[in-house]
Amino acid sequence: IPILRRALAMSQRPLSLFASPWTAPAWLKSNGDVRGKGTLKGRAGDRHHRTWAKYFIRFLDEYAKRNVTFWAVTAQNEPRAALLAPAAFPTVAFSAAQQRDFIVRDLGPALARSPHAARVLILDDQRSHLPAWAQVVLGNASAARHVLGIGVHWYLDALVPARCSLEATHRLFPRHALLYTEACSGFLTLR
């Protein structure tokens, strides 16, 4: 929070912050561990999913108490990478349909009822999942109304041409932002 405050104070224009969860608490996950390939227990709309959505609101509440507000939250960081990640990787696995349903039944309504203006970014994983992921989530009008845009990671960019992923997705959903939300230099270099 002190670093965020310093960055906000130093910026000549407002900063738009977004937050992305790594994992739900172990007791909400199917594998009973914050690490590994677990999903949220149950189904969208049940007490586990509603509770996870409440965690998002509590996070925003606590930061707001400290005068830090968020422009957006992602529904999950790397929801598909969870299937490939090492056992020690903290994550929650989601399919596009599971993410859509969580947004429609739990996260979207929780944000709408809250005092926060934060909207949702979907995917927040490799762009190789586009445009299929966006079609499943944004193709649902109830989900799309809560979604500001699509977060993508650049790690596999050399394998997936932009025209096949970003351009195709933009053509389908031109009103939703496409944002690179995570990247690092030198990862999976193919040269």
Active site residues: 78, 182
**Distances, alpha carbon 73 to alpha carbons 8, 22, 63, 90, 120, in Å:** 18, 12, 13, 18, 5
Q: Give the max Cα distance, the chain.
A: 49
Order of all β-strands in the sheet with 177-182? 18-19, 72-74, 119-126, 147-153, 177-182
Number of helices (H) and strands (E) in the chain: give both, helices first. Answer: 8, 5
* Torsion over CA: 131, 152, 81, 51 (sign): negative
